[in-house]
Amino acid sequence: MIINFAGDIDLANNMYNYFISNSTINEKIEIKIEEDNLVISIFNERDKKVDKQIRSLLQEYLNSFKIYRGHQIIELENLITIGIPKDIAEISTLVFCEICGYGMSSEEELLVHRRSHGIL
Q: What is the pLDDT of residues 8-48, one digit of tens each?
A: 999 999 999 998 888 777 778 889 999 999 998 887 766 67
pTM for this one?
A: 0.67
Condensed to tens digits (0 to 9), the pLDDT of residues 27-36 reads: 788 899 999 9
Where is average pLDDT lowest: 57-61, 89-93, 106-110?
89-93
Condensed to tens digits (0 to 9), the pLDDT of residues 55-78 reads: 899 999 999 999 998 899 999 887
- Does residue 109 share a domain with residue 78? no
- Does residue 33 share a domain with residue 91? no
- Does residue 98 share a domain with residue 53? no
Report pLDDT for 88. Answer: 64
DSSP state of 92: S
pLDDT above 70 for 1: yes
- Does residue 118 share a domain with residue 66? no
- Does residue 28 share a domain with residue 46? yes
60 in Cβ contact with 85 (< 8 Å): no
- Does residue 91 share a domain with residue 78? no
User: Which long-range contacts (C-beta less than 8 Å, at least 24 apart) are formed by 41-47?
Assistant: 41/1, 42/1
Give mean pLDDT, residues 99-105.
87
CA angle 65, 90, 62 (to 5 degrees): 15
- Does residue 60 share a domain with residue 111? no
- Does residue 94 share a domain with residue 36? no
Report pLDDT for 87. Answer: 72
Q: Place 90 in a pLDDT band, splitting at 50, 70 and 90.
A: low
Question: Which residue segment(s) compose the domain that 109 sits in?
Answer: 86-120
Report pLDDT for 46. Answer: 65
- Does residue 90 share a domain with residue 77? no
> What is the total count of domains within the chain?
2
Tell me how crowded residue 38 is: count the other CB atoms within 10 A of its CB. 23
- Does residue 107 share a domain with residue 73? no
- Does residue 62 share a domain with residue 99? no
